[in-house]
A and B are shown apart, each in its own frame.
Chain A
Amino acid sequence: MFLRIAIKSLMNRKGSVIMSMLAIAVAIFVLLGIEHIRQQARDSFASTVSGVDLIVGAKTGSLNLLLYSVFRVGAATDNISWDAYQEIAESDDVSWTVPLSLGDSHEGYRVLGTSPAYFEHFSYGDQRPLQLVDGKPFESAYEVVLGSEVARTLGYSLGDEILLSHGVVSTSFSLHADHPFIVVGILEPTGTPVDQTVHVPLQGLEAIHSSPRRLARLESVDELTPQSITAFFLGLNSKLSTFRVQREINGFAQEPLMAILPGVALSELWQMVGTFENILRFISLLVLVAAVLGLGAVLLASVRERRHEISLLRVLGAPPSYLFLLLELEALLISVAGMLLGVFGLYLSLLLARDRLATTVGLHLDPSVLTTGGLMIMLLVLGAALIAAAVPALRIYSQARTQYDH
């Protein structure tokens, strides 16, 4: 009976109840959404690169180097000469290197020039190496290995021929039309920027930027040596030498280079994002406060309308605490309904925005929002709603104790 009164009473005041329910839904949407995206972004960022001891590039900010070499965001300020790369790669401390040459694009996806070592040494997440779902790593200049999303979105399969263009706009005017590349491999999904990358050999990339005259002098394009690369990943024989090698590279005499530790740079990046993140959290908390205050206001207004109801319930034998609990129950029902609406809305939006977010910002979202953190937030919202409802509930309680005029 108690629950039925609460439900029917709410339905009797549909307009204001739906409004405050929507306010709660929006608050939940914002709170959960921000928390969820934050968590997922953190996980996704932290898992983009592993197993790489140092990232080396031309002297720039360490964040910039991390962003363009790992996240393929932004552009390098300068290149590394092939000779300098060779010199460092051949030093005794270095176990392996993976050269990276960026700057081209295909249908809006970044083209990465690299060596077969990339497929051997680059790993992500918890030391997971790259795996091919189909085909094999490239071996000769005009072969290409696609990230899973590139293959899926553009509908490419093994044996397809594709053309690369310069720059990172999807409709580029300078098509390098002469040199088609053959798809020889497709990588499995990683949830990292690798999925959105078109991998080609350095030689192939060099070839499409070379004059026909230069190419004509060669027996095979596989002999091409690039003049420079954008950056390279480096693995050491012993982790103990990390800081020494980093110092040596930073002090490299021939050209201004810098080496960064991916873990350190990632946490630096995260700290920077962290401030922004706290501001977002604060704003979403304010949205919640506004929503529960609205709920309190709606219920407070209802107390005035319910004068007769209050004295009637008292006459029937309801103690004042019954009325207090009735209002709290109404607040609970409104917030739970708003919460379900908000969670459902968020789930739907994440589902719809997933592909877009993945392609545009490289953020991979899991639409399941009901994590422990999410449940904590919902408990917080319930608590806030009950506290806000305590004001009208106390009002109705004191009115129930003193008002008998019918």
Chain B
Amino acid sequence: MAIELNQVGFAHAQAPETTVLQIAHWQVAAGERVFVHGPSGVGKSTLLNLISGLLVAQEGEVSVLGERLDVMSSRQRDRFRANHIGYVFQRFNLIPYLNAIENIALAGSFSAGTSRQNNAPRPESLLESLNLETSSWRKPTAVLSMGQQQRVAIARALINQPELLIADEPTSSLDQDNRDKFLALLMPLVEEHNMTLLFASHDMTLAKHFSKIQPFAEISQDASA
């Protein structure tokens, strides 16, 4: 299993009484491309943060790629995330004052020291395969268009050759045209690298690209009910 959650309960530290997530069991097989669907603000991002190890559940087991995140130290989780998980957000994917190459290299710098680094792709070749014109490589990413920025974000997410790619509303800031281009670039790369993809969005029109469609309501029991 790529992801396996058992009896997971999570509440924010600021409001420990309000359970945000309550998951009896949920799992994703390796290589699956899962579309997690649900309206904004129901806790999709919280779920993704639990799986990436940014948040820790108060109870239950969280296993990712066969490793128990809930028993790791926070330093171990940070390292695990750097080495095994790629992330693409809706916005603010890049450090605005660094250029595309630097942004990609930055992600690489946190996973340095792993054996996979030797055959890791170069930032330049990734940008090339994502059709980003060479003239934009050395510009601060703040001046790039949203579509260009999201393509750099994919390259950044792929630099460490992660087994798991998490995409949190990555197309919601794009227009229809760029949205289609984004998916047309992303899906073959996911396939090519044989990654597990967890893609969260409120936009049901994207569902056709995925092998599995998972309504968020079925993952987490409605805590308020």
List residues of A whose CB falls within 8 A of some B CB.
1-2, 4-5, 8-9, 11-12, 308-309, 311-319, 401-402, 404-406
Contact = CB atoms under 8 A, between A and B. Distances in A.
A404 B54 contact: yes
B82 A317 contact: yes
B54 A314 contact: yes
A5 B79 CA distance: 20
5 contacts: A5-B95, A11-B97, A12-B96, A316-B107, A406-B92
A404 B92 contact: no
B109 A1 contact: yes
Contacts of B111: 317
Contact of A316 (B49, B91, B102, B110): B110
Contacts of A8: 97-98, 102
Interface in B106-131: 106-107, 109-111
Contacts, number: 64
Given A1-B109, A317-B83, 8 more contacts: A1-B106, A5-B95, A5-B106, A315-B87, A316-B81, A317-B82, A404-B54, A406-B45
Contacts of A316: 81-82, 87, 106-107, 110
Given A8-B98, A12-B97, A312-B95, A318 B45 contact: no
Contacts of A312: 92-95
A311 B96 CA distance: 14
Interface of A is mostly: helix
Interface of B: 13, 45, 49, 52, 54-55, 74-75, 78-79, 81-83, 87, 89-98, 102, 105-107, 109-111, 168
A291 to B, nearest CB: 25
Contacts of A309: 95
Contacts of B168: 406
Nearest to A306: B95
Closest 8 CB pairs of A and B: A317-B82, A12-B97, A317-B110, A308-B92, A1-B109, A319-B78, A317-B81, A315-B87
Given A314-B54, A402-B13, A406-B168, A319 B93 contact: no
A65 B90 CA distance: 82
A319 B91 CA distance: 22
Nearest to A318: B110
Contacts of A404: 45, 49, 54-55
Contacts of B49: 404
Contacts of B91: 406
A312 B106 CA distance: 11
Nearest to A10: B97
A310 to B, nearest CB: 10
A277 B217 CA distance: 75
A1 B92 CA distance: 20
B201 to A, nearest CB: 15
Contact of A317 (B78, B93, B94, B96): B78
A2 B90 CA distance: 26
Contacts of A402: 13
- Residue of A2, A11, A315, A404 contacting most chain B CB atoms (<10 Å): A315
A1 B82 contact: no
Contacts of B87: 315-316
A327 B105 CA distance: 20
Contacts of B89: 315, 406
A100 to B, nearest CB: 69
A49 to B, nearest CB: 61
A382 B79 CA distance: 32
Given A317-B111, A319-B75, A4 B93 contact: no
